[in-house]
Each structure stands twice: as C-alpha cells, then as structure tokens.
Amino acid sequence: MFGTVPLMAAEKPNIILIFSDDHAYQAISCYGDSRKLIETPNIDRMAREGIRFDRCLVTNSICGPSRATILTGKYSHLNGFYNNTNSRFDGSQVTFPKLLQKAGYQTAIIGKWHLVTNPTGFDHWHILPGQGRYYNPPMIKDGQPVQHEGYTTDLIADFSIEWLKNRDKSKPFLLMSHHKAPHREWSPALRHLGWDNDRRYPEPATLFDDYANRGVAVRDQDMTLEKTFTPLDAKLVPPPGINAEQLKAWNAYYEPRNKAFQDAQLAGKELVRWRYNRYLHDYLGCVKAVDEAVGKILKYLDDEGLSKNTLVIYSSDQGFYLGEHGWFDKRWIFEESLRTPFVARWPGVIPPGQVNAQIVSLLDIAPTFLEAAGLEVPADMQGRSLLPLMRGQKPQDWRKSFYYEYYEYPTPHRVMPHYGVVTDRFKLARFYVPQADGSKPDPDYWELYDRHKDPLETKSFYNDPAYADTIKELHAELDRLRHELKAPATPPKEAYGNLFMPKKNKK
C-alpha cells in the first residue's frame, strides 16, 4: 500500500531539490515536445519512478523571485523579492530550510542562489555569486570566496555528492542542488560541443510571430532572436572565465562554424534561423549536463541504499522560450514561461508512473517538504502540500485558478508589468506601466487568452463580445484571488526595478 503508513519521527525522509535555471519543459523528453529536441533519460527516470506534473506554474517568472517563493511559500508581494534588479532577500523570514533545520535536518544549498543576501537556514552553503559563470566559477563557501576549475554543472553535482558523503549520517538531510544551467549565455560543457551533429531543428509555428491581435506589451518586448541575441549568446565570442586549454577545444568546435556563418552574410529570416539552431545546440547541450548531474545524484542514492527514503524533486525556476514567438527568455504569463517542469520521486510513497494535470506551483514546494518531514505548515504560507496529489489522491477542493504577477521593467527585455488569473483554459491579464507621479498607469489594458481556441496564444479575445460572460467571471475570480493572497492595490515603487530607481543596487 502506498502512503498509508504514518511517518514516524525516526523515519523522517531525506529531501533533495535538484533545481535548474530556465529549464524549459520543451527540453525534457518525458514532456513530449513535438520537436523531439533532446533525450533526458535521468529526469525521465524520476518521472517514470514517480510523478510528472504537467501544469506546474510559477508566481513571477524570473530567477530571484521564483527562488524567494520556493523558500518562503509566498508570493513576491509578501516575501519582498520582486525582481532581479534591486530586490534583496530578507533572510530573517521564515523559510522551509530553517524549519527543517530546527526539526533536526542537516541542510545544505550548493550552486545557484541569486538572492543577494547570504543564505540563512543552512548548515552548509556553497553558492555562485549572482548569476555565476559556466567555466571555472568563483563561488562562496560558507562565507569564504573560493575559486574552482571546471564546468559549473559538473562541479555543482560533485560538490553535492561530496556533501552527501560527508554528512552526519545520524540525521535526515535537506540538499538543494541548484544549477546555473541552462541559463543564458547557454555555454555547454566541452564534451557536449557538437552533441547534436549539426542538426537543423524543427521550427516552432510562431518563430516568425508578427504580434498582431495582441497589445503593445507583446510588440514592445526586447527578447527576440532577431533583435536581442548578442555575439556572446551566439558563441561568436567565448564564454567568460574559460581557460586557454578549454578554449582550444571550444574553438575547435565553434571557429569553423562561425567562419561559415560569417562568410554566408545571412540576413532577415535566414539569420533568425541560424540563431535558432545555434541557440538550441547550446541550450540543449547545457541541459545534457544537467540531466547527467541528476543521474549522478540518483546513482549515489542507489549505491548508498538511500533511494527509498528520499524525496527527490527536479524542477526549474521557470519555463523558457525556445524560439516560440521568436523569443528566448521568460517573464510572461504565457504558457512557455509560466509553466515549469516538475517531477518527483519517493518510492513507497509516490506510486510510479503518474502524470498529474492539476494546477500546482513552486509555491507548493515548501508546504510539501514540511509535510513530508511531518512538520506543521505555517498558516501564512500560500501554497499547499502536493503529497495528496503525489499519492494519487484527487482532492475535490484542489485549486482551479492561479494568480500570476510580474514586475521587472523596463530592463532587461522590456516585458511590461502584468498580473492575471490563469485557469485550465483561460488567462485574463492586465498589462500596465505605473507612472512616477502616481497618476493613472499608461498604458493600461486587459487581454484574454483562450488556450482551447488558440493554444499557441496568438490572439487576445478581450474585445470579443462572445467572451463577455467569461471575462466577467474571470475578473471576479481575479479579484477574489488578489484579496485572498493579499496582493497590494499599489505595489511599492522598488517592485518595478529600474523603472523608478535606475541607479539603486546594480549587481
């Protein structure tokens, strides 16, 4: 029988969160993207031996805010971390690692942190400063700067396993193994250069989206392969921190291809197509190392006999565009950035091979871990434990709608602030730019998306009279959610990053 045996204090499970940065579900084979971009056997193994959530949504689709939400189980407007421009995490808040630590867990975070202030609630922390880099990363280990040689994804996996090996085996553990990859600039490991044999990738239907039938926000963004892609993104220059020996192998792959590209003098759609293929080679190459890192940790658990009593989750801080709408990056309430991969394995508790279509969220991670450890979930956490869903139960009162918020503007990427409500079928969102003097936002307008009629989200139906009743209902639901979640009518000015305070706390 699964999940019917109460957990005794002595049997507290170990918990591992393997978390990556900007990993699109389209780039995980068990999620079944029609382009068949990549095989990820280790993440797929977790899904096969556990559960895959197909609609895990993020609260605010960028790095820092998502991480703050995971730690606190709260939206940005309550945990105070709104954007990557000038937010600083208030480490005095209640977080799940602190609660686990207090309950006797040994806790560690290794890899990407990205919350500016030092980690709290961890017995051990070994983090990348800021975004970190892909090669030979400087890191900070329990407060001390250290310099490493090697490829960052491999190092994070190795440091994670080293910590597991040296832990106090009399205590349960929490390990957060957090990758930088596959974040921009998408620099693969040397062993993965050319991994795709110069494949020409199938194009998404919206690669050349003209942004018609939607408002100014979609037209005004700055995240296209066409206009925003830099020489570093394109690997026309090598990644920061790479050493002479690594550079030789790097150049052996890129130089002849870059020369052919420069000789071809591409323009217009052909240039976008070249960038799309270069981007996918690099991005997916980074994913390969992440999947291998997952495999290393699963193997360690197998070798040590720890698999059965360890809840392992693989997820990412948000989704990502792999050419859809002509984009890379994230931020939007639209599906590719709103949805993030989420698979979980806990043999004996999570029946294997499940696929769950309910709306779940990274908000739910903290309550899930606390309940798994037999601890009380603080009443002010805004998520809900996923354990019932993981056990295969179907709670009648599970959420049918979800609140989303995004603030950081105008840099980077000029994605206009917006918030909205998401259901299985619809998205109702308000796009707006607040004004410094507190006058009416400008622009300020609403959009409605219908994923049944328009799965690629290429049209707003907000002004279609046929949707009048739906829009009325969604407005009421959005008001209800904003009230329940304590979303402020007027967020503080610092929420918007550079919009009002362009000089503050540049990292």
Residues 182, 27 contacting (CB under 8 angstroms): yes
Q: Could you tell me the smallest distance in angstroms from the CB atom of residue 295 to Ca ion?
A: 22
Closest CA to 361 of 313, 415, 393: 313
Q: Could you tell me the smallest distance in angstroms from the CB atom of residue 448 to Ca ion?
A: 27
Which of these ranges, 14-22, 145-153, 229-237, 250-258, lies near Ca ion under the rule CB under 5 A?
14-22
Answer positive or negative: Cα dihedral of 120, 123, 128, 129. Answer: positive
> Beta-strand (E) ranges in 179-231?
none
Q: Could you tell me the smallest distance in angstroms from the CB atom of residue 63 to Ca ion?
A: 4
Q: Could you tell me the smallest distance in angstroms from the CB atom of residue 150 to Ca ion?
A: 22
* Closest to Ca ion by CB, 173 or 332: 332
Q: Could you tell me the smallest distance in angstroms from the CB atom of residue 318 to Ca ion?
A: 5
Residues 290, 28 contacting (CB under 8 angstroms): no
Answer positive or negative: Cα dihedral of 477, 479, 480, 486. Answer: positive
Size of the residue set binding Ca ion (CB under 5 A): 4
Which of these ranges, 16-24, 33-41, 217-225, 499-507, lies near Ca ion under the rule CB under 5 A?
16-24
* Closest to Ca ion by CB, 65 or 239: 65
Which of these ranges, 19-27, 116-124, 148-156, 219-227, lies near Ca ion under the rule CB under 5 A?
19-27
Q: Could you tell me the smallest distance in angstroms from the CB atom of residue 135 to Ca ion?
A: 19
Q: Is 22 among the residues that bind Ca ion (CB under 5 A)?
A: yes
* Closest to Ca ion by CB, 313 or 372: 313
Q: Going residue by residue from 258 to 297, which x/- string records binding to Ca ion, judged by CB under 5 A?
A: ----------------------------------------
The residues in 126-145 that bind Ca ion, with binding defined as CB under 5 A, are none
**How remote is the C-alpha of 162 from its chain's centroid?**
25
Which of these ranges, 20-28, 89-97, 184-192, 216-224, lies near Ca ion under the rule CB under 5 A?
20-28
Q: Could you tell me the smallest distance in angstroms from the CB atom of residue 469 to Ca ion?
A: 37
* Closest to Ca ion by CB, 19 or 403: 19
Q: Could you tell me the smallest distance in angstroms from the CB atom of residue 320 to Ca ion?
A: 8
For residue 361, the number of C-alpha atoms closer than 13 Å in the C-beta half-sphere is 30
Tokens, residue 105? 């867990």
Q: Is 329 among the residues that bind Ca ion (CB under 5 A)?
A: no
Answer positive or negative: Cα dihedral of 122, 124, 129, 133. Answer: negative
Q: Could you tell me the smallest distance in angstroms from the CB atom of residue 330 to Ca ion?
A: 7
Residues 182, 290 contacting (CB under 8 angstroms): yes
Cβ partners under 8 Å of residue 87, min gap 6: 64, 65, 68, 80, 81, 116, 494
Q: Going residue by residue from 41 to 80, which x/- string records binding to Ca ion, judged by CB under 5 A?
A: ----------------------x-----------------
Q: Could you tell me the smallest distance in angstroms from the CB atom of residue 345 to Ca ion?
A: 23
* Closest to Ca ion by CB, 343 or 471: 343
CB atoms within 10 A of CB 166: 9
CB atoms within 10 A of CB 487: 18
* Closest to Ca ion by CB, 61 or 106: 61
Q: Could you tell me the smallest distance in angstroms from the CB atom of residue 61 to Ca ion?
A: 8
CA pair distance 506, 498, nearest whole angstrom: 9
- Going from the C-alpha of 472 to that of each of 315, 428, 467, 476, 478, the distances in angstroms are 34, 10, 9, 6, 10
Residue 43's φ and ψ, nearest 5 degrees, are -65, -40
* Closest to Ca ion by CB, 63 or 190: 63
* Closest to Ca ion by CB, 21 or 336: 21
* Closest to Ca ion by CB, 14 or 66: 66
Find out whether the peptide bond into 185 is cis, omega within 30 degrees of 0: yes
Burial tier of 61 (Cβ tally within 10 Å: 0-12, 13-18, 19+):
buried
Cβ partners under 8 Å of residue 117, min gap 6: 88, 89, 90, 91
Among the listed residues 13, 14, 15, 21, the single contact to Ca ion using CB under 5 A = 21
Q: Could you tell me the smallest distance in angstroms from the CB atom of residue 21 to Ca ion?
A: 4
Which of these ranges, 13-21, 28-36, 152-160, 423-431, lies near Ca ion under the rule CB under 5 A?
13-21
Q: Going residue by residue from 308 to 327, which x/- string records binding to Ca ion, judged by CB under 5 A?
A: ---------x----------
Closest residue to Ca ion, based on beta-carbon distance: 63
Tokens, residue 313? 């989750």
Query: Each residue of 253-266: b (16+ CB within 10 Å) or e?
Result: bbeebbeebeeeee
Residues 477, 470 contacting (CB under 8 angstroms): no
* Closest to Ca ion by CB, 60 or 385: 60
Number of H helices, E strands in the chain: 12, 15
* Closest to Ca ion by CB, 112 or 288: 112
* Closest to Ca ion by CB, 362 or 487: 362
For binding to Ca ion (CB under 5 A), which residues are involved? 21-22, 63, 317
